[in-house]
Structure 1
Amino acid sequence: MSLRRATRSESTKLFTTSIWWLLGIVLVAYIAFTAAAVGLAFSLSASGSLGDDAPVLPAEGLAPTLYSTATSVGYVFPLLLGTLMVTGEFRHKTLTPTFLAIPRRGTVLWAKIVVGVLIGVIYAVAGIVAAVGPAAGILVANDLPTALDEPDTWALFGRMLIAYVLWVLVGIGVGALVRNQVGAIVGVLVFTQFLEPVGRAAAAFVTELNDVVKYLPGAASDALVGASLFTVGMPQAESALEWWVGGLVLLGYAAVALLLGHLVSWRRDVS
């Protein structure tokens, strides 16, 4: 079977299930709520409405920081979906008929990558809209610039789209490497919501850690995007990777995960 037919089969598997749109709804709601809450606090601070004793954030660069909520807190959703695209097949044993119909397993994996790119773009658009909508509205309400008329802002959106696609590919690689769905999901959540955030927070106080922490996936993603909620006021943000280096690092994680998944797990027998 050709890659085109395999891709059609994989897209049917994904889009005829509810997981992609259910996870998408949670993605939009979570990002919109976070962007609104943080946007309100930051905007009040930048406009000096919190009182004389409260810290004042600079208005410059505030809009991109709020818009980056889509990636800085939302990247776990494309990562989880990519993981579920593969581990769900192991769990429900749908890979057995797939491999019988498509003996070339590499073709199946490539088809998942193509579909992963598509769903990554869809999630990116949804996440960007969810972040920009409430954030821009709050900025306008506080007489602060939205920067939506600036080319740099639209370049930021483009890099956010790339980040989403790469996160889906990382998830596909993780799913191919760790067959157990529960184990893969728990591992993803523990690393993204605990281990890496703790490491990045520690780097704010131990500068020697920054040389290592900045190459972690989340930090590389933030560097690629060029803005993040987690780098506001942090001194190590000045030594972050260049955006293209961050993109290459995140691409490297995706490539390594996919390659190891193919070599170590994808070729094994499926019961």
Structure 2
Amino acid sequence: MTTLIGSEIRKLTTTRSTWWLMAVLVALCAGLAAALLFAGYGLDYPGMAPGAAESAQMLYRQPAATVYVIPMVVGTLLVTREYHTRTIVQTLLAEPRRGAVYAAKVLGGAAASAVGAAAAMAVTVAVGAAVFAANGDGPFLTDGDVVTTLAGSFGALALWGLIGVGLGALLRNQALAVALALVFTLLVEPVAGIVLNTADLPEASAYLPGGAANLMAGGSSFGEEGSALVGFAVLAAYTAAALAAGAARFVRYEP
């Protein structure tokens, strides 16, 4: 199994698209952090009041609320790239136990998601700490609520990567999987959230994947407060369902 996992990680690290996506992830997190901090210190935006732990929380939960599609796409590519290039045939000839191959992809995806999540959080904290220090404020990294937000943001991003692995195994078509990930996260779920809020059901949006990720990071859903544990349970359920569906497809059907 160790050899299989190492093989999956090598497939990711030797592919340029993986590094491009990671670079985009880091750049977006840095840019978003800078924009939020400018809004707080330069434009007096109330939600980013200088010197407040709540401002640090808002900053640190942004990766989980905004850029989660990138770990998801990386996860889909881990599986669909092999079907796109037809190298899945060689992979299964080398290791006919499809369950073992799929498990290695899941674990490899988990490792990649963890690295991406760590990078996203590290650059967000670094930008925040630099600006906070320049303005005589602290980053509040020892505050209990802030630590919870950091952990929740990291965990949410990592789970999104695993959802991508399951989606890729289920669909197999690279273009379709990536397109579906983008359309759902950038269009379908935001529209669904607006519809639920208009229908006076804002709390229901917390049971959508993105809403659950935001709650997990200590945020709210259309102004409705919720529990980080509920957010984790909902997002973990989506992750388990995606991985189970992907496993059924990967193990049962010919490439």
TM score, norm. by length of structure 2: 0.90
Unpaired stretches in structure 1, ≥5 consecutive residues: 47-54
Residue 83 of structure 1 and its aligned partner are, at CA, apart by 0.5
Cα offsets for 1:15-37 (capped at 9, x unmatched): 22222221111110111111111
Distance in 1 of aligned mates of 2:31 and 2:48? 22
8 A contact 1:84–1:175 mirrored in 2:
yes
Deviation sequence 1:210-265 (CA, Å, 0-9, x none): 2432111111111111137xx5xx432x2x3x212211211111111111122235
1:213 paired with 2:205, answer: yes
Q: What are the Cα deviations for residues 200-219 of structure 1, in whole angstroms up to 9, with x where unaligned?
A: 234444322x2432111111
Correspondence for 2:151: 158
**Counterpart for residue 173 of structure 2:** 180
- Change in 2 beyond 3 A, CA 1:140/1:44: farther
Inter-partner Cα distance in structure 1 for 2:36 and 2:4:
43
What letter matches 1:12 in structure 2? R
| Contact 1:224-1:243 within 8 A present in 2 as well | yes
| Alignment counterpart, residue 56 of structure 1, candidates 28, 38, 46 | 46
Matches within 5 A, 1:53-132: 56-57=46-47, 59=49, 60=52, 61-132=54-125
Write the distance in 2 (CA, Å) between the matches of 1:39 and 1:203.
30
Structure 2: any 5+ residue segments left out of the alignment?
A: none
Instruction: Show the counterpart of 1:193.
Output: 186
- The answer on whether the counterparts of 1:45 and 1:56 sit within 8 Å (CA) in structure 2 is no
CA 5–128 in structure 1, closer or farther in 2 if over 3 Å, else same: same
Percent of pairs with identical residues = 35
Q: Matches of 1:256 and 1:25 in 2, distance apart?
A: 29
Structure 2 letter corresponding to 1:80: V
**TM superposition shift of 1:191:** 0.7
Partner deviation per Cα, 1:179-216 (whole Å, 9 max, x = no partner): 111111111101101111222234444322x2432111
Distance 1:244 1:114 in 2: 23
Q: Count the aligned residue pairs.
A: 252
Instruction: State the Cα RMSD in Å.
Output: 2.0
Contact 2:36 2:48 in 1 (8 A): no
Structure 1 runs (4+) deviating above 6 angstroms are none
Asked if structure 2 preserves the Cα contact closer than 8 Å seen for 1:177 and 1:266, the reply is no
For the pair 1:139 / 2:139, whether they are aligned, the reply is no
Q: State whether residues 40 and 48 of structure 2, in contact with CA within 8 Å, keep that contact through their aligned partners in structure 1.
A: no
Normalized against structure 1, the TM-score is what?
0.85
CA distance in 1: counterparts of 2:174 and 2:245, whole angstroms:
17
In 1, Cα distance between equivalents of 2:84 and 2:172: 8
CA distance in 2, matches of 1:132, 1:80: 23
Rounded Cα–Cα distance in structure 2 between residues aligned with 1:58 and 1:27? 22
Question: Is the 8 Å Cα contact of residues 30 and 127 (structure 2) preserved in structure 1?
Answer: yes
Q: What secondary structure does 2:113 align onto?
A: helix
Q: Work out whether 1:7 is the aligned partner of 2:24.
A: no
Measure the CA separation in 2 of the matches of 1:181 and 1:58: 39
